[in-house]
Amino acid sequence: MNNKVLGLILGIAGVILILYGFNELDGVAQRTPGSAPKLDRALGTSDGRFAAALMGFGVLMVVGGVVMLVKKKRTAIVSATKQCPFCAENIQAAAKLCRYCGKSLTNETAASKD
């Protein structure tokens, strides 16, 4: 799966969790003490701790989704290099003059072709 698609899914799921958490917190404030929802009763919490945990997890999912959306793939930059026959330092393949020893590489390559 593409990172951007996965980031978008994480972000949307995180927003849904945050909204659900807000809804639960609002419900906690309006409830009478014995009327907690089934999920809160099953967890033994009726004071909104579960809703706060959902919201925290939702925030983490949104942050993870945003990171995945903006993260760029690393591309390897391959620079063609060769070794100078005079000083053995790595130089660019298209170099005509060694930047370390200053020797001309065009005379060397012409001499080796003859």
Domain ranges of the chain: 3-70, 81-113
76: left (phi over 0), alpha (psi -120 to 50) or beta: beta
What does the H/E/C string look like for 47-68?
CCHHHHHHHHHHHHHHHHHHHH
90 pairs with which residues across the strands? 83
- For residues 29 and 21, the model is more confident at 21
Q: What is the mean pLDDT of residues 33-58?
A: 68
Alpha-carbon gap, residue 109 to 86, rounded angstroms = 12
Percentage of the chain modeled with pLDDT above 70:
66
Q: What is the mean pLDDT of residues 44-70?
A: 80
Closest alpha carbon to 12 in 51, 69, 52: 69
Predicted confidence (pLDDT) per residue in 67-84, tens digit = 888 887 666 556 688 899
- For residues 101 and 113, the model is more confident at 101
